[in-house]
Structure 1
């Protein structure tokens, strides 16, 4: 198939592109700059100029292809609500362009949309007061399944890890390096799910090829890694102590990340594995933090 990929030059999207090409698909990547255009050309990908706010460009890219994988998101937490609205409008434009075609549209959400404190499953709808509730609004695109779009959602965990990661774990490492302390909240038993980006990329391809309309999928390789273990791995990697903090101390120590550091987001991917035959094969988060140069 000829697949339109947004975020094609990004950390996750780039891995998705390579997975698609290896499987024999052709890829058209959204490019918002000359630099992105050149990067896509080097990857063997056709560039389609546009950006997430350019709805006409997104619709044209979707119509010209046999399917869409949407991994792009504007990761500016100072403008998080505005960026989430941009994401919703982008998804609506592409879903509208595919209406009645039964073509696949694979969108991206996060496991943080689920209610905390218990193991979340694919059957769970987003929690209205969940930490990721702003981003969860993008999951309304699943309603396009009733309009002839084979739409599915891949929920990704807080840590999608591999060399080149610039997400939450590197941010935690930066705080620890700056403060001299690798911290966790309370007893640190709260858990983060995690997945290697190559495993996540394979799930996006399988969703494109096989997911039924309206499917919620969990790109989770590890159901829950205790935050204390993550902090201890950071402490070992940097040669600094790991220690507990109260919630109030953590708010000052971590800033905007404090809520994420304290969340208990254990998440199952059992239904995803059973329905698509997806089996994560890469190393886990704690081992990858040592293997992929997180501390160099």
Structure 2
């Protein structure tokens, strides 16, 4: 397929682009500048210059593609109107074609999941940072009635390739000599390696039926205090961890703090069973202790 990929130079999008190419697909990546064009060209990827804030710039590329994978976001969580308008432009471009559109949401829309392992059928209780996303998920899924093969993927907390939230924690630990975690550290995070996540996007592109929702989560949930300990070892300050009261974290981080303190135990079994998704990457603890985050820690030393 010829796939129009938004966010092609981003953390998730870069991994998706690589995996699409490995699977034999052609990628046209959305970029905002000539610098982005050069970055994609160096990786053998065609570029389309546009912006989520300019819906018209998305329509032509979406129409000319055989499918769209939407990983980009303005990250303006207080005012998501541009994200919503961009998505509607893509849906309009694909209307009546039967072509696939894969939309990226996230498991933070599920809120605290409690002791039971949550899945696609579980209730949602979005943390304030992403309170707008459930309505957008439904907008995407309902667009199947407009002749688009719409799919929603909810990634768990993404790690790997030395990036994501964990990279920020590693950098902070190196700079401050201590690993801070919000709350007591007794909460659990469910995670997914970015390269495994990218494989799920390709599986969904090729196989997922219209109007379907998939959770991208692999391995067992990991307690945040255990992740903090692994980070401390990666940066050479073993055991130097510190609880950070939520109210204090909110003063600096706003609603992002509430997202990081969520207690989430979530399963990606549906995708492994029905899409033949096979996560194979190292666990988050192995990645922290022996993988890409060791390099990040050394680079910031």
- Common fold by TM > 0.5: yes
**Structure 2 partner of 1:120:** 118
Check if 1:229 corresponds to 2:226: yes
Moved more, 257-266 or 225-234: 257-266
The one-character-per-residue Cα deviations of 1:5-28 (angstroms, maximum 9, x if unpaired) are 111122211111111111111111
Normalised by the length of structure 2, the TM-score is: 0.88
Moved more, 128-137 or 100-109: 128-137
CA distance in 2, matches of 1:260, 1:7: 22
CA distance in 2, matches of 1:137, 1:156: 17
**Structure 1 partner of 2:264:** 265
| Aligned 8 A contact 1:224 1:266 in 2 | yes
Aligned residues: 290
Q: Mark the CA change 1:256 to 1:181 in structure 2 (over 3 Å): closer, same or farther.
A: farther
Give RMSD over aligned pairs: 2.1
Alignment of 1:154-233 (within 5 A): 154-158=153-157, 160-165=158-163, 167-233=164-230
CA distance in 2, matches of 1:236, 1:255: 28
**Structure 2 partner of 1:133:** 131
Normalised by the length of structure 1, the TM-score is: 0.90
**Structure 2 partner of 1:153:** 152
The CA deviation at 1:254 is 6.2
CA distance in 2, matches of 1:145, 1:200: 23
CA distance in 1, matches of 2:47, 2:220: 36
Q: Which structure 1 residue ranges, 5 or more long, are not aligned?
A: none
Q: Mark the CA change 1:136 to 1:231 in structure 2 (over 3 Å): closer, same or farther.
A: same
The CA deviation at 1:195 is 1.1
Q: Mark the CA change 1:236 to 1:255 in structure 2 (over 3 Å): closer, same or farther.
A: farther
The one-character-per-residue Cα deviations of 1:94-150 (angstroms, maximum 9, x if unpaired) are 111111111000010010000313332112354256653233343121110111110
CA distance in 1, matches of 2:43, 2:169: 31
Check if 1:43 corresponds to 2:43: yes
| Aligned 8 A contact 1:163 1:294 in 2 | no
The one-character-per-residue Cα deviations of 1:35-82 (angstroms, maximum 9, x if unpaired) are 11112222222211111112112111111011000111123xxx3222
Moved more, 220-229 or 131-140: 131-140
| Aligned 8 A contact 2:108 2:126 in 1 | no
The CA deviation at 1:93 is 0.8
CA distance in 2, matches of 1:110, 1:225: 18
| Aligned 8 A contact 1:81 1:134 in 2 | no
The CA deviation at 1:217 is 0.8
Which secondary structure state, in structure 2, belongs to the residue aligned with residue 15 of structure 1?
helix
CA distance in 1, matches of 2:13, 2:217: 17
CA distance in 2, matches of 1:45, 1:96: 25
**Structure 2 partner of 1:242:** 241
Check if 1:288 corresponds to 2:259: no
Which secondary structure state, in structure 2, belongs to the residue aligned with residue 59 of structure 1?
helix
Moved more, 41-50 or 203-212: 41-50
Q: Mark the CA change 1:254 to 1:66 in structure 2 (over 3 Å): closer, same or farther.
A: closer
